Amino acid sequence: MSESHFDEYEHYNFDDKHVYPGKQRSKKEVSQHTNHFDPSGHTRKIVTKLMNTEKNRKVVEVKAKN
């Protein structure tokens, strides 16, 4: 395809920064910024479950007193 009919603004539109938006990471950066193995398991799920259990236990105790 001939680009002789393109003006300066059309070349700007085809610049790589518009074709590939965002930062491109190197292989090293990709390996550093990934989900890492957590040897203790699903920590966030367990903590949330314990917090909810504690909250529900308090609600039941308050209802039982009334």
- Residue 24 within a domain: yes
Q: With respect to residue 3, please indicate whether it lies within any of the assigned structural domains.
A: no
Q: Which domain covers residue 16, as residue numbers? A: 8-65
Q: Kindly state whether residue 59 falls inside one of the protein's structural domains.
A: yes
Assigned domain for 1 exists? no
Cα separation, 48 vs 42, in Å, equals 10
Q: How many domains does the chain have?
A: 1
Q: Are 63 and 56 in contact (CB under 8 A)?
A: no
pTM of the predicted model, to two decimals? 0.40
**Within-domain flag for 31:** yes
pLDDT per position in the chain (66 positions), as tens?
Answer: 566 776 766 666 665 555 556 677 888 888 888 877 777 778 888 899 999 999 999 999 988 887
Can you give the length of the chain in residues?
Answer: 66
* 42: in domain: yes
Asked if the structure places residue 60 within a domain, the reply is: yes
